[in-house]
Amino acid sequence: GKAVEAPLHLDFSGQGHVRALLVLEEGAALTVLERSDAADTRNVGFEIALGANAQLHHVRLAPASDAVQVEEISIALARDARYHGHFANFGAKLSRIELAIGLEGEGAEAHLSGVSVLADAAHADVTTHITHALGRTQSTQLFKKVAGGKAQAVYQGKITVAHGANGSDSRQTAKAILLGGRAEADLKPELEIFADDVKCAHGAAVGDLDADSLFYLRARGIPEKEARHLLIHAFLEDALADIASADLREIVRGAVSHALDGLTA
């Protein structure tokens, strides 16, 4: 029943192998800022358990590095629990985060969003699997990615609606902008539905910056680099807007701007 107002800061930077457990009991509320800066190799296992009516806002910030970074997050949600996760990843030699989320109580909700801005040969992979184990559960996913150079952006999202989980509502969207001929984006949303009375939707799109919009801005005297910044920020903004904390939202926006400075230089 306790709501902790100040964000809890978790810093896994520089550590090789880490295992963490976070438990929110019934009615508790917490905001977590997780940082994962460079290390040669980092392997993190993070388990989260949310009790009935608990709420967790989780922001994960992974700056660009030359490391190998692997993290697996397992989340179990009880009745009417809510998880809001935002994942800002700016690439590594190999970067993969896997989320396994179980909506195990009626009324449970999981809302995921994320952004990636990748330059050079950076790699960033987000793989999610959300299981609607019971009915009247809800999940949303919105991931936006920008890749330049020889970077590779990956999103794999799977939704499983179990037998009898009627009333489940799930939506997942992944979009990417490629800023070069050698950049790559692999987007793969997937639905596995074993119930009848559900609402599920998924979609993916990959493309370049809109040429007409870029021309419109440049025709009004905006330099090309600034015009590209504006269009990319607009593309990413709806994913950033999902961060509830204004302070944490500005931290992630600052990291995005810093990454874009290098990407569009």
Three-state SS annotation for the chain: CCECCCCEEEECCCCCEEEEEEEECCCCEEEEEEECCCCCEEEEEEEEEECCCCEEEEEEEECCCCCEEEEEEEEEECCCCEEEEEEEECCECEEEEEEEEEECCCCCEEEEEEEEEECCCCEEEEEEEEEECCCCCEEEEEEEEEECCCCEEEEEEEEEECCCCCCCEEEEEEEEEECCCCCEEEEEEEEEECCCCCEEEEEEEEECCCHHHHHHHHHCCCCHHHHHHHHHHHHHHHHHCCCCCHHHHHHHHHHHHHHHHHHCC
Q: Quote the CA–CA distance of 255 and 249 in Å, as a whole number.
A: 10
pTM of the model: 0.94
The pair phi, psi for residue 19, each rounded to 5°, is: -130, 130
Amino acid at 15: Q
Q: Is 93 left (phi over 0), alpha (psi -120 to 50) or beta?
A: alpha
**pLDDT one digit per residue (tens) for the chain, 265 residues:** 999 999 999 988 766 889 999 999 999 999 999 987 766 888 999 999 999 999 999 999 999 988 899 999 999 999 999 999 999 999 999 999 999 999 999 999 999 999 999 999 999 999 999 999 999 999 999 999 999 999 999 999 999 999 999 999 999 999 999 998 999 999 999 999 999 899 999 999 999 999 999 999 999 999 998 999 999 999 999 999 989 999 999 999 999 999 988 776 5
Q: Report the pLDDT value the prediction gives residue 155, as an integer from 0 to 100.
A: 97
Q: Report the pLDDT value the prediction gives residue 264, as an integer from 0 to 100.
A: 60
**Quick one: which of 256, 32, 235, 44 has its CA closest to 142?**
235
Q: Report the pLDDT value the prediction gives residue 38, as an integer from 0 to 100.
A: 64
Q: Report the pLDDT value the prediction gives residue 13, as an integer from 0 to 100.
A: 74
| 8 A C-beta contact, residue 111 and residue 242 | yes
Q: Report the pLDDT value the prediction gives residue 203, as an integer from 0 to 100.
A: 95
